Amino acid sequence: MVGQFDGKVVVVTGGGSGIGRCCAVAFAQHGARVVVADVAVDGGEETARQIVTDGGEALFVRADVAQSGEVRAMLSRAVETYGRLDYAVNNAGISAGFPLHEYPDEDWERVLRINLTGVFLCMKHEIIHMLAHGGGGHRQHRIGGWSCRVTRRRRLHGQQTRRRRADQGGCPRVCPAGHARQRRLPWLYPDPHGPL
């Protein structure tokens, strides 16, 4: 498979089903080597198997994104296997499905650990690997209605920021997810008014 992401390495959390699986398969179809991360072993292995069956390269790593040690281990395995990390789709997330006024405190705390802290931990450790391998391009990270990217731009919400590494120029920037959909991943979301 040769395409837009030929030779690049992408990690997809929550890649065992749903949007995560679709992203993993789409990246593979465009030439990326995909690391599928999920707590659901059966689903994650199935996604990786589907990619390999279709002629792509994929590795499944079980990881709980709410656990810093597991995130670090998953990313280390990715880099040990493929030599670098270029992109990340931080898709892992849950919803307890309660109306707000009936939401149990413990379920809300679990949602925050996975949906918020999990994305923070992934980005924290992913950026280190990205910068180590020539970071500063556009790397998309999904956070609810927003996406973050490592970019060469030096402004964050209009304020001057220090470069993360003087020789790389990478710093985080937050932008609406629609920006990613319409301008960065048109092959994944061909309809600008489509899902996500």
Q: Where are the beta strands (DSSP E) in the chain?
A: 9-13, 33-38, 57-62, 87-90, 139-143, 146-151, 155-156, 159-160, 171-176
Separation CA 38–CA 171 (nearest Å)? 27
Q: What is the pLDDT of residue 39?
A: 97
pTM, 2 dp: 0.72
Q: What is the pLDDT of residue 175?
A: 36
CA 6 to chain CA mean position, Å: 18
Q: What is the pLDDT of residue 134?
A: 79
Q: What is the pLDDT of residue 97?
A: 84
Q: Are 33 and 10 in contact (CB under 8 A)?
A: yes
Separation CA 85–CA 71 (nearest Å)? 14
Q: What is the pLDDT of residue 16?
A: 97
Q: Where are the beta strands (DSSP E) in 63-124?
A: 87-90
Q: What domains are there in the chain, each with its CATH number?
A: 9-112+121-184 (3.40.50.720)
Identify which of 41, 15, 45, 42 has the alpha carbon closest to the alpha carbon of residue 27.
15
Q: Element (H or E) spanning 25, and its range?
A: helix 18-29
Q: What is the pLDDT of residue 2?
A: 56
Q: Are 56 and 28 in contact (CB under 8 A)?
A: yes
Q: What is the pLDDT of residue 147?
A: 45
Separation CA 167–CA 64 (nearest Å)? 33
CB atoms within 10 A of CB 154: 13
Which residues of the chain are under the pLDDT cut of 70?
Answer: 1-2, 135-196
Q: What is the pLDDT of residue 3?
A: 80
Separation CA 44–CA 59 (nearest Å)? 9
